[in-house]
Amino acid sequence: MAGQDRTSRTVDGVLAALRRGGFSVEVAATRGPGDATRLAREAAAPGDLEVVFALGGDGTLREAATGLLGSPVPLGPLPGGTTNVLHYGLGLPHEPEAAATALCRLDARPMDVGLCGGTPFLMMASAGLDSHVMSHLDGNLKDTFGVAGVLLEGIGHWLVYDYPEVAIEVDGRTLGASLAIVANIPFYGGPFRMAPLARIDDRCLDVVLFHGRGRRAMLSFVMDVMTDAHVHRQDVEFIRVQHVRLGAPRGMPIQVDGDAFGQTLPVTIDLSSDQLMVLAPPG
């Protein structure tokens, strides 16, 4: 259901590219939440597949990855969503057919996977204004206007949000921030390097804390993120971890890989002991 251009033409173009690359492909469509996990797990179980390709948004790719986590069968991620942030992190093309062509030439490499309250994620988990926006996002607005719809929703909440302090427990310390992001890849919200030192296979998670408060400070922070200038701000802190706990305020929503998460604070975020095999360029 992700993205705005899920047409038979897109699917046919992707299938043609994969078949030109030498793959014999069977198609299975998702019908609702959790289907991608089930389909990927069932496809990989017999052990006779070379790769499971998933065409969809970041949420669909996260679900498919969950079904493959711990399996030697790699994920072939194909962009079909609104922002396709994972493809920035993996260095893959953002046009579905071009991505399919590229994946046919790539070897599998290991990718770290985070666990938010035990649920796998590929990109990030966060609490603050962004999680508040995603928990209130009008699905019709996103479906109709894509990224512009999310931005419009975000502006509305930016004007009224009260920026409560999130308590972060890490390395025996308790810190406070108005926005806490636990990242597994450098990119956030598109081509923006929120956590520039994050790597997909370094066995660490990168915590980005924004300590500023209020609308003006948040707007300034967002503008700096768009130009990578946030790394020089005194109200931004970067910490590398394998384990972190987001505590108070209880009941604050959480955002995971660009979607509202079913749980609320407090939550523990860890690095999975298993890595995901994924088709991606090296380095």
Q: At 173, which helix (H) or strand (E)?
A: strand 173-177
- Give the per-residue pLDDT at 232: 98
- The reply to whether 119-271 shares the fold of 8-112 is no
pLDDT 10s digits, 250-259:
999 999 998 9
Strand partners for 264: 253
Amino acid present at 36:
A
- φ/ψ of residue 219, rounded to 5: -60, -45
Residue 216's alpha-carbon distances to 57, 161, 197, 220, 252, in angstroms, are: 32, 12, 27, 6, 22
- Does residue 182 surpass a pLDDT of 70? yes
Q: What is the largest CA-CA distance in the chain?
A: 55
- Does residue 158 surpass a pLDDT of 70? yes
- φ/ψ of residue 207, rounded to 5: -95, 130
pLDDT-based confidence at residue 141 (cuts at 50, 70, 90): low
- Give the per-residue pLDDT at 148: 62
Amino acid present at 199:
R
Architecture of the CATH domain 119-271: Sandwich (2.60)
pLDDT-based confidence at residue 172 (cuts at 50, 70, 90): confident
CA distance linking residue 166 with residue 159, whole number of Å? 19
3-state secondary structure of 142: helix
- Give the per-residue pLDDT at 9: 83
| Cβ–Cβ < 8 Å for 210, 235 | yes
Average pLDDT over residues 120-137: 92
pLDDT 10s digits, 209-246:
999 999 999 999 999 999 999 999 999 999 999 999 99
For the beta carbon of residue 133, count every other beta carbon within 10 angstroms: 21
Average pLDDT over residues 176-191: 96
Domain boundaries, the chain: 8-112, 119-271
Fold of 8-112: Rossmann fold (3.40.50)
What is the arrangement of strands in the sheet containing 75-79, beginning at the earlier edge strand? 52-56, 75-79, 276-279, 108-111
Average pLDDT over residues 163-187: 95
Indicate the pairing of strand 267-271 with strand 75-79. Answer: unpaired
- Give the per-residue pLDDT at 147: 65
- φ/ψ of residue 182, rounded to 5: -105, 110
Q: Which residue has the higher pLDDT, 41 or 32?
A: 41
CA distance linking residue 144 with residue 164, whole number of Å? 31
Question: Which of 274, 93, 120, 89 has its CA nearest to residue 193?
Answer: 89
Tokens of 73: 């069968």
The DSSP string of 154-169 is HHHHHHH---PPEEEE
Can you state the angle between helices 147-160 and 129-136, rounded to 10 degrees? 120
Average pLDDT over residues 199-207: 97
